[in-house]
Protein backbone atom coordinates (compact mmCIF):
# COMPACT_ATOMS: atom_id res chain seq x y z
CA UNK A 1 0.00 0.00 0.00
CA UNK A 2 1.04 3.57 -0.56
CA UNK A 3 1.00 5.71 2.54
CA UNK A 4 1.49 9.46 2.54
CA UNK A 5 3.65 9.46 -0.54
CA UNK A 6 1.56 9.93 -3.61
CA UNK A 7 3.18 12.84 -5.43
CA UNK A 8 6.63 14.12 -6.25
CA UNK A 9 8.23 16.79 -8.36
CA UNK A 10 11.04 15.90 -10.66
CA UNK A 11 14.14 18.01 -11.16
CA UNK A 12 12.84 19.11 -14.55
CA UNK A 13 9.72 20.55 -12.90
CA UNK A 14 7.24 17.87 -13.89
CA UNK A 15 4.83 16.69 -11.25
CA UNK A 16 4.39 12.94 -10.97
CA UNK A 17 1.96 10.79 -9.07
CA UNK A 18 2.21 7.29 -7.70
CA UNK A 19 -0.65 4.92 -8.25
CA UNK A 20 -1.16 1.34 -7.25
CA UNK A 21 -0.54 -0.87 -10.21
CA UNK A 22 -1.15 -4.46 -11.07
CA UNK A 23 0.60 -7.63 -10.03
CA UNK A 24 4.26 -7.56 -10.99
CA UNK A 25 4.13 -3.80 -11.14
CA UNK A 26 3.14 -2.68 -7.64
CA UNK A 27 3.60 1.03 -8.27
CA UNK A 28 2.85 2.91 -11.44
CA UNK A 29 4.37 6.34 -11.86
CA UNK A 30 2.49 8.73 -14.09
CA UNK A 31 3.21 12.29 -15.12
CA UNK A 32 0.36 14.40 -13.78
CA UNK A 33 1.61 17.80 -14.86
CA UNK A 34 4.10 18.40 -17.61
CA UNK A 35 6.52 21.19 -16.81
CA UNK A 36 6.69 23.97 -19.45
CA UNK A 37 10.46 23.91 -19.13
CA UNK A 38 10.85 20.16 -19.33
CA UNK A 39 12.86 18.98 -22.30
CA UNK A 40 12.38 15.26 -21.76
CA UNK A 41 10.30 13.53 -24.40
CA UNK A 42 9.68 10.75 -21.89
CA UNK A 43 7.59 13.03 -19.73
CA UNK A 44 4.15 13.13 -21.27
CA UNK A 45 1.07 14.00 -19.25
CA UNK A 46 -0.87 10.94 -18.05
CA UNK A 47 1.76 8.63 -19.47
CA UNK A 48 3.35 6.07 -17.14
CA UNK A 49 7.07 6.25 -16.45
CA UNK A 50 8.04 2.62 -16.33
CA UNK A 51 11.78 3.32 -16.45
CA UNK A 52 11.44 5.37 -13.27
CA UNK A 53 10.16 2.33 -11.42
CA UNK A 54 13.19 0.36 -12.60
CA UNK A 55 15.45 3.04 -11.16
CA UNK A 56 13.92 2.59 -7.72
CA UNK A 57 15.06 -0.99 -7.46
CA UNK A 58 17.83 -1.69 -5.01
CA UNK A 59 21.10 -2.53 -6.77
CA UNK A 60 22.37 -4.45 -3.74
CA UNK A 61 20.39 -7.54 -4.65
CA UNK A 62 23.16 -8.76 -6.95
CA UNK A 63 25.91 -8.11 -4.42
CA UNK A 64 27.16 -10.78 -2.01
CA UNK A 65 26.19 -10.34 1.66
CA UNK A 66 28.71 -8.32 3.65
CA UNK A 67 27.06 -8.36 7.09
CA UNK A 68 28.39 -11.66 8.36
CA UNK A 69 31.07 -10.16 10.58
CA UNK A 70 29.22 -7.02 11.44
CA UNK A 71 27.71 -7.98 14.79
CA UNK A 72 30.53 -10.18 15.97
CA UNK A 73 31.87 -9.17 19.33
ZN1 LIG B 1 9.93 16.36 -17.02
Distance 61 CA to ligand 1 centre (A): 29
Beta strand residue intervals within 1-73, DSSP E? 7-9, 15-20, 27-33
* pTM for the predicted model, two decimal places: 0.53
Q: What is the pLDDT of residue 49?
A: 78
Choose between 68 and 51: higher pLDDT. 68
pLDDT tens across 17-38, in order? 988 777 776 778 889 999 999 9
Q: Which residues contact 50 (CB under 8 A, 6 or more apart)?
A: 25, 29
Tell which residue, 42, 45, 10, has the closest CA to residue 30. 45
pLDDT tens across 44-64, in order? 998 887 654 455 555 555 556
Domain that holds residue 36: 7-56
Distance 71 CA to ligand 1 centre (A): 44
In-domain check, residue 42? yes
Distance 15 CA to ligand 1 centre (A): 8
Q: Which residues contact 48 (CB under 8 A, 6 or more apart)?
A: 28, 29, 30
Distance 41 CA to ligand 1 centre (A): 8
- CA 47, CA 69: separation in Å to the nearest integer? 46
Q: What is the pLDDT of residue 6?
A: 82
- Total domain count, the chain: 1
In-domain check, residue 70? no
In-domain check, residue 44? yes
Amino acid sequence: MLKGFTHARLACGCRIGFREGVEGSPVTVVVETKSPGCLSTLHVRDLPLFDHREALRTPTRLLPPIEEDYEES
